[in-house]
Structure 1
Amino acid sequence: MPEDWQRALAIVAHPDDLEYGAAAAVARWTSSGREVSYLLVTRGEAGIDTMEPAEAARVREAEQRASAAVVGVGSVEFLDHRDGVIEGGVALRRDLAAAIRRHRPELVVTLNHHDTWGGTAWNTPDHRTVGRAVLDAAGDAGNRWIFTDLAGEGLRPWDGVRWVAVAGSPQPTHAVEVGEEDVERAVASLAEHRAYITALSDREPAAYARDVVTGGLDAAAPHTGGRPAVAFQLYPRG
């Protein structure tokens, strides 16, 4: 993975999406002095069957902020698109381009936009829609003739996105090696999603989180000589 950058913006559909894929890499990046911000397209209000959406949104927002803090991320924003029925198209692209212009990252991170997870498990509409929109918005953000109204809001074009990195892709091209401390922070970060994990599994959140995080890192290890790593599909720009 490229190392010559300072600012990253991670854009995903739901609270916990980053913790299931990229948090160990985020921990490594922030510990080395890089700036990482999170943008959530929804508040995950449709994600807990036993909790009404308004309460789930409140709980999941709080869990996401706590989770981000564990890996050194203090900037967490939400767009309030509807969980489960995110609409692709110009409006979503505009929102994402605005965020990219505001944060001015060199690296943009998102989650698997492909139809499946490795060819067997069907990916959700929200993941597919947001991932594709992120890839488009990275270009939109730099074009002054697209979303011209954003300049009037003080959001000048930003053509500085050099890469979009897709976590959880079934077609990885690059990997970020992570250390023991990065792994521990990633496990703790996912475990912060306590209400979500408790509704999903009978296991204690910390144990559940450890198995999920280490399983993902081990899957990428063949690309790094057996060392734990977070895999990405990297799309260079420019």
Structure 2
Amino acid sequence: MTEPKITQLQPMPTDWHRALCVVAHPDDLEYGCSAAIAGWTDGGRDVIYVLATRGEAGIDTLDPAVCGALREREQRAGAAAVGVSTVEFLDHRDGVIEYGPALRRDIAAAIRRHRPELVITLNHRDTWGEVAWNTPDHVAVGRATLDAAADAGNRWIFPELTEQGLEPWNGVRWVAIAGSGRPTHAVDAGPGLERAVRSLLEHRTYIEALTQQDPETYVRDFLTTQTTANAARFGGTPAVAFEVFSR
């Protein structure tokens, strides 16, 4: 019997200057794709983070009022570790983000404000690899981001944004989904992996609530396993994988 052919991942597009990363929670990008982001910022590209929430419902032992402020600080430090200086929060409520026009409008506004060619978000499907159930926050933000990439270019959707001085932006060329079970493209993880480890380690309070393992051991094992799993489909090179939708 012939062995099934492994579909190779294509290199990510490189002819862009600015990326906007839109996710639900602090640490979503650090778990998903910060090794790629470190490589991009090293190459002189501009990367901006927008988070729907401050992750205030993410740690059972911390009151949300305390937790949100702490996780915001950790997120800003994690972003700085991979060369990202602009981090914005949309102040949707953690755990109960609703997909709909309000969320699409907030993300479309961010796209108009920052005018990226590449938009990054996290897995918008119901499951992780058809094995583990995804959270409704990830699903809502991922779907809304895919839709908002088009909304941002249409002046008749959310016309109030134009009235606020946010002119339509039809320059998004790709939306890339990190953590997808159907990846199409990848980025070499090697150059940015050590900074990705440092970036995720900045979420120490969350990690210490999540696992009894030594935080650095946990983080390094997680990111190494994740990137190595994509190597067979990327010429043997550990990689961060994305599902890319062209526009």
TM-score, normalising length from structure 1? 0.98
CA distance in 1, matches of 2:84, 2:214: 25
User: What amino acid maps onto 2:117 in structure 1?
Assistant: E
Q: Which residue of 2 aligns with 1:64?
A: 75
In structure 2, the residue matched to 1:206 is 216
Look up the match of 2:98.
87
Point out the structure with max Rg over C-alpha: 2
Please identify, of 211-220 and 40-49, the stretch whose mean Cα deviation from structure 2 is larger. Answer: 211-220
C-alpha displacement of 1:225? 1.4
Percent of aligned positions that are identical: 67
Letter in 2 for 1:51: L
Q: Residue in 1 aligned with 2:50?
A: 39
Number of residue-to-residue matches in the alignment: 236
Question: In 2, distance between residues paired with 1:119 and 1:207?
Answer: 27
Within 5 Å, give how 1:122-201 maps onto structure 2.
Answer: 122-179=133-190, 181-201=191-211
* Cα deviation code 1:108-139 (max 9, x no counterpart): 00000011001110000000010000000000
Cα deviation, residue 215, structure 1 = 1.2
2:7 corresponds to: none
Residue type of the alignment partner of 2:114: H
- Give the gaps of 5 or more residues in structure 1: none
Deviation at 1:178, TM superposition (A): 2.5
Point out where structure 2 has 5 or more consecutive residues left out of the alignment: 1-11
Partner of 1:226: 236
Of 92, 96, 105, which aligns to 2:107? 96
SS at match of 1:33: coil
Larger displacement relative to structure 2 (75-84 or 204-213): 204-213
- Separation of aligned partners in 2, 1:149 and 1:80: 19
The Cα shift of 1:204 comes to: 2.0
Indicate the residue corresponding to 1:23 in structure 2.
34
2: CA distance, partners of 1:154 / 1:137: 17
Q: TM-score, normalised by structure 2?
A: 0.94
- Tell me, yes or no, if structure 1 residue 3 matches structure 2 residue 14: yes
Runs of 4+ in 1 over 4 A off after TM superposition: none
Which residue in 1 is equivalent to 2:59? 48
- Residue by residue over 1:17-51, the C-alpha shift from the partner in whole angstroms, topping out at 9 and shown as x without a partner, is 00001100000000000000000000000000111
For 1:42 and 1:225, the matched residues in 2 are separated by 37
